[in-house]
A and B are shown apart, each in its own frame.
Chain A
Amino acid sequence: MTYLKSRRFIGAAFTAITMLSITRTITGNGDLTSTVTIAQALVFASPIALAGLAGIWAERAGVINIGLEGMMILGTFGAGWAGWQWGAWAGVLAGVVFGAIGGLLLAVAAVTFGVDQIIAGTAINLLALGLTKFLAILLFTDAPGGGQAQSPPIKGDIPTYTIDAIVTPLTALHDKAIFFISDLAGLVAGLFYHLSLLTIIAAILFVMTSYLLWKTAFGLRLRSAGENPWAADSLGVKVVQYKYTAVVFSGMLAGLGGAYLSIASTIYRNGNTAGRGFIGLATMIFGDWRPGGTAAGALMFGYIDTLRLIDTGNQNVKGLILLGAIILFAIGGVMLRKAKRNSAIGFLVLGSVMVGAYFSASSFPPEVAQVAPYITTLLVLATASQNLRPPAADGVPYRKGDHH
């Protein structure tokens, strides 16, 4: 099983690098796989990944958490407020605690009172937005370096690591522009370039989640609360307790994601989350409520965001279009082999349109890259949602003894 899994992982990674490499070779745009791009993509991906992981925890226990955005907002605020006064680590801690408070609120409304979970989450988003804006004006307006909508700079920093012994030779190798090898070198070097300790923590949390939720009795019980809470209850699982644990931990993770954002931009700023909680939710669905797929979805968002923002010569978006076309062709090919003719034709046509666009325009506006991740998510959902399997009792209010 593990052997098969790791083989599949290596296969997927190999395919991904090959596609990137083809794109890089045709476009001649080294930025697509450069050390800096990858390092920055990790920074952009981490908060989204943490939000997605937060979603996994809540929804695996059967509670839809659309309040992720609000909990992230609370996290950004907590980090800005505490970080400005007592340093970056205090900021991280406060972000986690503030997120947990948001999670607790959702648990009280959705688990104890059985309010519709989407409604409760929406209310939390509203409340978090109002509360943080209000407190920002009160606490930051007169603070030196602060303003009505932003905190003073966060003191100190979370350590980041660069391993020169790896980065320098691999970056040099990347610049040689050899097919596949240079791209692999750039990708690997990016992992060791200005790598934040928070990113490492996020990665550990992903591994820990896979283990806890899928390999332990605790995880089995927690997931049973999301699949069939009544059956779980009949077997003696304290369903309410598990749901509370899951939702509060979900809030903590979302809060950590928010704190990551504030630390990365060194201040709290109103609206800094910019919908990343919702994007995290999308990556969770994209990843079929599992950590691996969720991380992949978050990396896609982070990668596209990076290419859009460092697009100096206006060529990165063009590269992305070609990459998208190659991916579509690959999926179309797979579909053909699986004898799904209609889907295959859809993908091949869409891929051809993108190739046509690539060769007919000299550059593309950044808005194309801005919407690309969302369109990709819609495409993935449209093709794969029959294969996605959310927890069976996701979103269903549970009351002990209340049979369905």
Chain B
Amino acid sequence: MNLRRIGTSLIAPAIGLFVSLAATAIILIVIGASVSTVFSSMWNYGTSPRAMSLMLNLATTYFLSALAVSIGFKMNLFNIGVNGQYVLGALAGAVVASNLTLPRIASVTITVLVAMIVGAAWAGIAAWLKVARGVSEVISTIMLNFIAIGIISYLIVRTSIGTETSLNVRGTKLIPESGMLRGVALLDPGTPIYGFFFISIVVGVGYWFLLNRTRFGFDLRATGKSATAARTSGVQSNRMIIVTMLLSGAVAGLVGLPYLLGETGTYSLQFPTDWGFTGIAIALLGRNNPLGIALGAILWAFLDISSGQLILEGVPREISTIMQGLIVIVVVISYEVVRRYQVKSEQTSVAKALEKQEATV
């Protein structure tokens, strides 16, 4: 039974991968590129030690973002605001870290806490609007994303928080080396694996534990499955909404840190601002399961990184974005088809069992 469930939950991603590879192959044929050359070039570069390191680093970011989204998903809350939460968290973290001259562990801990608090606070606005004023979090978080971007551009362009960093890009003051978490060179001597790679594993385990082994996690999942049933059994749904959004926002606050503390050391106007949307897609692929999300994040990062050298074959690297989009859409459709098939087969097996019973009576 359990084996069968695992089997069916793997079918959908397998179909998604297959269909998107097939569709990509068709696109490549249409534009006159060699399918085998493109795929082998992606594979060869993507599996080199350097690319693998880059991939794990990027996957760390994606993993955290998807976790933040999926905490909300578990309770039918759609946190589209991870973007706004993490950019503000990263900016606040960058400002604080650049002014600290403490031992690494203290400095990084403070940075992490600040980023989480800011992310949670920004998500808290959406939570309050939902609970107190009945505003859908889908629309309020979208608005809050735009507002966050405006605030950041104001702070960096017009206040002393921003300085000229390099190449005419304004950003926060550089974080001293003692405040960075560059990581360890495991696979490739020139490309360390972010310290946050290991931290994100801890966060993932914590997520699993919280949801599956605590009273709070049970309430959260129960509310997600049926809000009315949960309310009847004594779960305070408003409190759950607030706590869930705050948690989601706190994890979202971490999303920018691997890159900030592992790479740039400054939050500049060039800091990526759309990792939240990637997180939504990966949470969907991984079905809100930390292991599934980890696999999804690695796949996503693999496509991003391995397409980096495709231009040498005369193919735009955006082919990977198309593949990602196709994978998501085919996988969500297949999940639904598989689910319907499961429901149907369950119904027929129950009907059969009942028939047998009636026959014996």
Q: Which positions in A face B, CB cutoff 8 Å? A: 66, 105, 109, 113-116, 118-120, 122-131, 133-134, 137-138, 275, 278, 281-282, 285, 365, 367-368, 370-371, 374-375, 377-378, 381-383, 385-386
List of A residues within 8 angstroms of B322 by Cβ: 127, 130-131, 134
Segment 136-178 of B: residues with Cβ below 8 Å from A: 136, 138-140, 142-144, 146-147, 150-151, 153-154, 157-158
Q: Are B333 and A109 in contact (CB under 8 A)?
A: yes
- Taking CB atoms, residues of chain B closer than 8 Å to A386 are 133-134
Contact across chains for B135 and A125 when beta carbons are under 8 A apart? no
- Residues on the A chain within 8 Å of B133, using CB: 381-383, 385-386
Nearest CB to that of B152 among chain A residues? Answer: A367
Q: Which residue of B lies closest to A148 (CB)?
A: B316
Please tell me if the beta carbons of A126 and B328 are within 8 angstroms of each other in the complex: yes
Beyond known contacts A116-B332, A118-B138, A367-B150: 7 more, CB 8 A cutoff: A105-B329, A113-B337, A120-B332, A123-B284, A130-B323, A365-B154, A378-B147
Please state if A138 and B281 are interface contacts (CB–CB under 8 Å): no
Q: A126 touching B332 by the CB < 8 A rule?
A: no
Asked if residues A374 and B146 are in contact (CB atoms below 8 Å), the reply is yes
| Neighbour of B329 across the interface among A127, A282, A377, CB < 8 A | A127
B332→A119 contact, CB < 8 A? yes
Cβ–Cβ < 8 Å partners of B323 in chain A: 130
What 1/0 flags go to B23-51 for Cβ under 8 Å of A?
A: 00000000100000000000000000000
B326 close to A (CB within 8 Å): yes
Contact yes or no, A134 B326, CB < 8 A = no
Q: How far is the CB of B3 from chain A (nearest CB, A)?
A: 26
B interface with A by C-beta (< 8 Å): 31, 78, 129, 133-136, 138-140, 142-144, 146-147, 150-151, 153-154, 157-158, 277, 280-281, 284, 316, 318-326, 328-329, 332-333, 335-337, 340
Is B154 a contact of A123 with CB atoms below 8 Å? no
- Chain A residues contacting B280 (CB-CB under 8 Å) are 122
A126-B277, A133-B318, A382-B129 as given contacts; A367 in contact with B154, CB under 8 Å: yes
Closest residue of chain B to A133 (Cβ to Cβ) is B318
- Closest residue of chain B to A285, judged by CB? B139
Interface centre among B133, B277, B337 (most CB of A within 10 A): B133
Main secondary structure of the interface of A (DSSP, over half): helix
Residue in B142, B153, B154, B335 whose beta carbon sits within 8 Å of that of A282 in the complex: B142
Contact status B336-A115, CB under 8 Å: yes
Q: Which residues of B have CB within 8 Å of A124?
A: 325, 329
Taking the closest CB of chain B, its distance from the CB of A128, in whole angstroms, is 8
Which residue in chain A gives the minimum CB-CB distance to B335?
A115
Q: Which residues of B are found within 8 Å of A130, using beta-carbon distances? A: 318, 320-325
Question: Which residues of A lie under 8 Å from residue B78 when comparing CB positions?
Answer: 118
Q: Would you call B143 and A123 a contact (CB within 8 A)? A: no
Cα A278 to Cα B135 in complex, Å, equals 16
Please determine whether A134 and B319 come into contact, CB atoms closer than 8 angstroms: yes
6 closest Cβ contacts across the A-B interface?
A130-B321, A127-B325, A371-B150, A134-B318, A367-B154, A137-B316
CB-CB under 8 A for A374 and B143, given A119-B332, A386-B134:
yes
Contact across chains for A120 and B329 when beta carbons are under 8 A apart: yes
Contact A134 B316 (CB under 8 A): yes
Bound form: Cα–Cα A125–B153 in Å: 25
For B281, give its contact among A122, A134, A370 (CB under 8 Å): A122
Determine the distance from Cα of A377 to Cα of B134 in the docked complex, in whole angstroms.
14
The CA of A125 and the CA of B321, in the complex, are separated in Å by 11
Q: Is the CB of A378 within 8 A of B140?
A: yes
Task: Return the chain A residue nearest B320 by Cβ.
Answer: A130
Would you give the shortest CB distance from B312 to chain A, in whole angstroms? 14
CA distance A73 to B144 in the complex (A): 22
Q: Which residue of A lies closest to B339 (CB)?
A: A114
Chain A residues with CB under 8 A of B321: 126, 129-131, 133-134
Nearest CB on A from B16, distance (A): 11
Question: Are the C-beta atoms of A378 and B135 separated by less than 8 Å?
Answer: yes
Bound Cα distance A138, B27 (Å): 12
Alpha-carbon separation in the docked complex, A85 to B340 (Å): 46
- The answer to whether A281 and B142 touch (CB under 8 A), given A123-B332, A130-B324, A365-B154, is yes
Q: Is there contact, CB below 8 Å, between A123 and B146?
A: no
- Give the complex CA separation of A381 and B137 in angstroms: 11
A130 to B337, CA, bound (A): 25
A131 engages B332 (CB within 8 Å) = no
For the complex formed, measure the closest distance between the CB of A363 and the CB atoms of chain B, giving whole angstroms: 12
Q: Which residues of B contact A131 (CB under 8 A)?
A: 321-322, 325
